[in-house]
Amino acid sequence: MSDPVPDGDALLRALSALANPHRLRIVAALSRDSTHVSQLARDLGMSRPLLHMHLQRLEAAGLVHGRHEVSDDGKAMRIVEVSDFAMTLDPGTIAALAATLTDPPASGRTKGDS
């Protein structure tokens, strides 16, 4: 995702994925070095199932990616690393991307609007 964000849906996936403190910590840890899932879970003090859930959201947004490797002792390991991405947001970019959203805006006000 080093190119500009392709559409509003991709922007929402990326912002939604980053709007969680666990996922921000995952991206921060992976920005230093790629690692295998078990080590990342230990480093972050997180269970592997919870880490997998967060990694799925980050992968769906194109922010991280993984690959499988075999360790010296023959065990399969999933290595994860941060993807090369950059986003520059300004009102004009947001307006242009909002026009490409596939989810139609809700009509009327919602409960939280004031």
Nearest of 78, 63, 60, 61 to residue 28 by alpha carbon: 63
Which residue is associated with the tokens 């909002």? 98
Cβ pair 26, 82 in contact under 8 A: no
pTM, 2 dp = 0.81
At residue 108, the pLDDT reads 54
CATH of region 8-91, choose from 1.10.3720.10, 3.20.20.70, 2.40.40.20, 1.10.10.10: 1.10.10.10
Q: How many CB atoms lie within 10 A of CB 55?
A: 23
Burial of 102 (0-12, 13-18, 19+ CB in 10 A): exposed
At residue 114, the pLDDT reads 46
Which stretches of the chain drop beneath a pLDDT of 70?
1-4, 104-114
User: If residue 10 lies in a helix (H) or strand (E), which one and from where to where?
Assistant: helix 8-18
Report residue 100 as tokens: 């490409």
